[in-house]
Structure 1
Amino acid sequence: MKYTLTKDLETGNALIDNEHRQLFDAVNKLMDACSQGKGRDLIEKTVRFLNDYVAKHFRDEEQLQIQSKYPGYSAHRQFHEQYKQKLTQVENQIINTGATIATLGKLNEIIGVLITHIRMDDKRIADHIKASS
């Protein structure tokens, strides 16, 4: 299953939506490589990208929240911090033990959490930003 930025995932904020597309592209490339038996070659690179992506994307989102005085900023930031910790743990497991079915499963689970976060929380932020503009 390919990840695409469908209407239910679009926030309407160009910056956020563009960054989400970058995320989906990286994950889709990894999934394609896995389906061709080449996933192990790409997983470390993808996890490093995800860590860099998450750091930048979350920083961008938090700036937008601060600028728009988003009332859920503290809780949203707390989610971001916990998410970054979990992603770093998976990255360390992959680096230390290599790409296994278990680590790929954990990575897939973490990506699923991020997709749900986009669908629910990021859309709320975008709605708030639109309303406060």
Structure 2
Amino acid sequence: MRFKLGNENNRKYLAIIPTVILSPLLYIGIIMIWIFSVSYYPKIDFNKQEWNENKEERYKMSNDIIKSEILIGKTKEEVIELLGDDFYFYDESHIAYDLGFVPGLFNIDPDVLDIYFEKGKVTKVGQHET
């Protein structure tokens, strides 16, 4: 048994209505999935060995370093002992470590981990795109 919807004259219009409604939703869904997949990256806990071996993916650990405040109160020597000596020296109160390229839609510049000192101790840790 065949199911008949409408008559011969309006059947093509009944097919166009779902197409007009569903096509944009499908395209928007595909674009959103693509944006989320390009922007996603795993955030992992800080690991000294991984930090030193994989410099291009340090950004995965930067969130843990900032949120856990593991550097707050440490001296510059303690920071260098933990993170290594491959940092940029801005001045006595500011150094930065390369984090690599954070995945993102329009991210074309690498990020750095900024470490700020006051009276020889870390007071603030942040991250920015160069």
The interval holding the TM-score normalised by the smaller chain is under 0.3
* Higher alpha-carbon Rg: 2
> Is the strand fraction higher in 1 or 2?
2
Higher normalized contact order (CA 8 Å, seq sep 6+, divided by chain length): 1
> Is the helix fraction higher in 1 or 2?
1
TM-score by length of structure 1 reads: 0.27
